[in-house]
Amino acid sequence: MAIVALRGATQIKDDIELQAHLAALLRLENTGLLLGAGASCSAGGKTMVRLWSDFVDTYPDEATWLLNNSFIGPDALAAGAARKVPNVEVLADSIEVALIEWSRSKDVLLDELIKARAALFRAVVRAALLNQAWWTSVEGAESDYAALQHHRTILQKLVSARQPGQASPWVFTTNYDLAVEWAAESIDLQVVNGFLGLHSRRFSPQSFDLGFRNTQARGEARFGCYNVYLAKLHGSLTWQEHNEQLFEIPAPLAWARLKEFLDDPTKTDLGLMVLPRAAKYIQTVGFALGELLRRFSEFLSRPQTSLIISGYSFGDEHINRLLRSALLNPTLQLVIYFPEFTGDAAATSLPSALRKLLALRNPRVTVVGGGEAAFLDKLANHLPDPLLYDGEMQRFEKTLRDVPGAATEFGVEDLV
């Protein structure tokens, strides 16, 4: 299927034009990537639609209880296309607020509420596991090249496009899974995710101000970068709060606790994953999530910045507000891969937040649709291949090719 793409009010004709646009954006001073649930489907993750279907099908009693107690509407349990998937994170927020109040008042429905919350958490965990073998293997996902190939390709292209002196790219994600971490580790790419330490990794936001470089490189030889910055805006399956501090624990240890929670129906609290809910802001993790959102906002305000969005459903109003307000930055460029976009910027089937962005008809906002033509693998293909030379070197090479004998005179025949 051919792409359907708009830049502001202008249609992008084909893949070549889109690739040229992306190539220009990756050479800006700051580049970033925002990944939603849809970006993990190729690695075994689930979209929010599939997550909700799993919850309803696996825990029908708990789903019905949520309906009877007004946590969800009737359309959330409707059959087929009539079903309207609720915002799972907003639902978790409502459940958590009720849990606090009902615990205080010793409500008779408290046990049922705790049971429903545990069922919802189990559905979320299953959606974010990706591949169970990666959790127990010493290699992680290194030996499985196919499932995370698109993530690897995107990371490699983002990093390789950096010019001398430019900052490493940022990856922002609303996902709890470890797709980005596993993909980066399998290609020896360092990930700066806000945690410092070797065996005890504690959240230390100042780590985002650090980076990696080749100490043997001098001058223009200091080309490219060796790390990406990762901000998990909604938390992670490997985060744990302990003694008013937030830690990142190894995947095998996290898997032991995840498996126990999934297999034992009497377990009601995971203790690891951080769901975005109101109660977390009275806990230590509120500081971490607030810091990550601040970093996201600060990134969007930088001059000469591009952000590519993939797999994001525009269901998080916090992020939507940041994206809208970020367009006040006159040098910000947004590229949105949204498979459901069919060319009609005002289509009622699109999320209202996306329609608001498209209604601006801003040439700094590009949306790519067309079903499978806007999936993660197509983004990986559209991003430009790494260049060995920067723009000046390319022009120098062209000059040598065009002037007879120039290459021999300068002694650089091998270059051309």
Q: What is the DSSP string of 78-146?
A: --GGG-----HHHHHHHHHHHHHHHHHHT-TTHHHHHHHHHHHHHHHHHHH---HHHHH-TTTTTT-TT
pLDDT above 80 (res 208): yes
**351 with 314: CB under 8 angstroms?**
yes
Q: Region 42-53: what's the mean pLDDT?
A: 93
Dist. CA 98–CA 105, nearest whole Å:
10
Residues 206-245, buried b or exposed e (16+ Cβ, 10 A)?
Answer: ebbeeeeeeeeeeeeeebbbebbbbbbbbbbbbbbbeeee
Other residues' Cβ atoms within 10 Å of the Cβ of residue 402: 8
SS3 category, 294: helix
398 pLDDT exceeds 70? no
What H or E segment, with its residue span, contains residue 336?
Answer: strand 332-337
Q: What is the reported pLDDT for 185?
A: 92
**pLDDT at res. 415:** 44
Residue 279 has pLDDT above 80, yes or no: no
- 395-224-210 Cα angle (round to 5): 145
**Residue 171 reports pLDDT greater than 70:** yes
Is residue 410 over pLDDT 90? no
Mean pLDDT is highest, among 30-39, 87-96, 243-252, 391-400, for 30-39
The Cα–Cα gap between 85 and 10 comes to 32
pLDDT classification of 389: cutoffs 50, 70, 90:
very low
240 or 221, higher pLDDT:
240
Give the distance, in angstroms, between the CA of residue 173 and the centroid of all CA atoms in the same chain: 2
- Whether pLDDT at 96 is above 90: no
Matching residue, tokens 């999320």: 351
